[in-house]
């Protein structure tokens, strides 16, 4: 397991993920595009499935195909006297025989 972070850019049809490991930004470079170890690029289907290609940067390993799912869940919560809208986003690419499991979790919070 390699804990880390990612910057995810999606427009509803195309997705790009720039993932890096915890500690990679220690050299003062904080832009995920500059420190990414893995880049995943693909399309999001109407049923929220993802067909993508992953690439390990700075290695000899060639790109490989991934299939996954993008799930978005919204909850209404009370934080004391303030009502909040919490949006949970989860992207999971299943484990194949020759690939690693990739999972990305995110949470956005805003006032109701």
Asked if 71 and 46 count as a contact pair (C-beta separation under 8 A), the reply is: no
Tens digit of each residue's pLDDT (9 = 90 or more) over 11-29: 989 999 998 877 676 555 5
CA distances from 104 to 25, 62, 73, 77 (A): 18, 22, 14, 23
Q: How far apart are CA 25 and CA 15, in angstroms?
A: 23
CA distances from 48 to 12, 56, 71, 101, 110 (A): 9, 24, 7, 18, 24
Strand partners of residue 105: 90
Tens digit of each residue's pLDDT (9 = 90 or more) over 44-100: 999 999 999 999 888 898 998 989 999 999 999 999 999 999 999 999 987 666 556
The pLDDT score that the predictor gives to residue 36 is 85
Asked if 3 and 22 count as a contact pair (C-beta separation under 8 A), the reply is: yes
Tokens of 110: 């805003």
pTM for this one? Answer: 0.79
Per-domain residue ranges for the chain?
Answer: 4-111
Q: How far apart are CA 12 and CA 62, in angstroms?
A: 27
């Amino acid at each position: 397991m390699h804990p880390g972070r990612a910057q995810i850019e999606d427009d509803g049809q195309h997705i790009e993920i720039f993932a890096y490991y915890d500690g990679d930004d220690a050299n003062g470079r904080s832009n995920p595009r500059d420190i990414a170890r893995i880049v995943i690029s693909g399309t999001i289907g109407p049923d929220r499935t993802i067909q993508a290609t992953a690439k390990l940067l700075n290695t000899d390993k060639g790109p490989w195909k991934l299939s996954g799912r993008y799930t978005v869940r919204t909850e209404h919560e009370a934080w004391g006297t303030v009502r909040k809208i919490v949006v949970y986003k989860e992207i999971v690419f299943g484990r194949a025989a020759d690939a690693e499991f990739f999972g990305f979790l995110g949470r956005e919070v805003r006032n109701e």
